[in-house]
Amino acid sequence: MKEINGGICAAKGFKAAGAHCGIRKNPGKKDLSLIVSEVPCTAAAVYTTNLVKGAPIIVDKEHLKNGVAQAIICNSGIANTCNANGVEVANAMADLVEKYAGIKADDVVVASTGVIGEPLNLEPIEAGLPGLVKALSEDGSLDACHGIMTTDTVEKQVAVEFEIGGVPCRIGGIAKGSGMIHPNMATMLVFITSDVKISSAMLQKALSADIKNTFNMLSVDGDTSTNDTVAVLANGLAGNAEITEDGEDFAEFMKALNSVNVALSRKIAADGEGATKLLECKVSGAASEEIAKVSAKSVITSSLVKSAFFGEDANWGRVLCALGYSGADLDPDTIDLTFSSAAGSVLVCKNGAGVEFSEELAAKVLHEDEILIDVSVGDGPFTATAWGCDLTYEYVKINGEYRT
């Protein structure tokens, strides 16, 4: 497997585009994206568990009941959530794709992201769609990526090439997410495309299994959004034998999907609102997978832990505190803790108690922009990894002024 360029358009038969159509006030901000396959695809998706859901999710669940899709349309700036006519507007967006791109409305995945509770006007979308369709390109991944961004500061795209049964295959994706990120399947949207031939049932199985170890192990601020959606389209143009059951081919697809989802999870965490550092917490030696996962995510979501890393303060007691209230069945006397980065590693806790360490080295380690919080909780066989970021003054500023 190797990483390649192309993002959402790396797989055969996919084109994308992004443009400013007028939903957002700033003409320099793209606010509408379209992704299409030249043929119908098997499709799968997972969504937020928030009881308050964006209207596009209601529409998408209907459209994907048959496991088929051919296009994705997404606007940024307005979430189309908590609107009396939200479902009507989301359905109309799919109808507009049919009108201008010739793809059946029922085969369109619809997504929106932005401010909750503000009405979404269809006029700029309809005005912008003809030009967007005309702009569709195999080089359009970056533009589509920019079209779905809100408070993101960098684009998030990745693609890999791999083989299934000796046949070259590709999978790629784009994502948006910077704040309101605490998926449970934040305004987190992820769109993935592949040219692998795979049944919709196995595609759903792969996605549902993988998010448990990727996007569901990601947190920026502990807020689960109303619009979280991860959607995958696979058009089969690679020409591999169709994957319809577990086996070596399915395992290879799972590896590729996981590599894309891990990369996008890390990119989202690193671009958390106001963030200066990517935090990765790896818990090892756990007696069960659930203990490892709960422990890792508790550390990564702790506001005190996040604040300490922003201040580059090796306040390791905050990590143990987060482990202690996580609800995981842990023995504090078996916990070892090390902070690592490109600047080196420093052991700060052994068997649940502090050890002497160089504050000078610790400061250098924590000054880097990617930090590993390495936690050993015993001699069990299970591990888990979670991703997050530091908590900064800028996070409060961004969210205090989000609508204004």
Give the pLDDT confidence score for residue 180 in this predicted structure.
67
Contact by Cβ (8 Å): 19, 32? yes
Neighbours of 253 (CB within 10 A): 23
Give the pLDDT confidence score for residue 210 in this predicted structure.
95
Give the pLDDT confidence score for residue 187 in this predicted structure.
55
Give the pLDDT confidence score for residue 399 in this predicted structure.
81
Across the beta sheet with 353-354, the strand order is 353-354, 344-350, 336-341, 370-376, 278-286, 382-389
Give the pLDDT confidence score for residue 51 in this predicted structure.
86
| Torsion angle defined by CA atoms of residues 219, 222, 226 and 229, in that order, rounded to the nearest 10 degrees | 10
Query: Which of 81, 187, 226, 392 is the catalytic position?
Result: 187
Which backbone phi and psi does 49 adopt, to 5 degrees? -95, 0
Record the pTM: 0.92
Give the pLDDT confidence score for residue 247 in this predicted structure.
97
Question: How far apart are the C-alpha atoms of 212 and 384, rounded to whole Å?
Answer: 10
Residue 187 is among the residues annotated as catalytic for this protein:
yes
Give the pLDDT confidence score for residue 185 in this predicted structure.
58
Question: How far apart are the C-alpha atoms of 164 and 166, rounded to whole Å?
Answer: 5
Question: How far apart are the C-alpha atoms of 32 and 129, rounded to whole Å?
Answer: 8
Give the pLDDT confidence score for residue 230 in this predicted structure.
94
39, amino acid identity: V
Domains of the chain plus CATH, in order, are 2-270 (3.60.70.12), 278-400 (3.10.20.340)
Question: How far apart are the C-alpha atoms of 225 and 82, rounded to whole Å?
Answer: 13
Using 50 as the pLDDT threshold, list the residues of the chain that sit under it.
186
Give the pLDDT confidence score for residue 404 in this predicted structure.
66
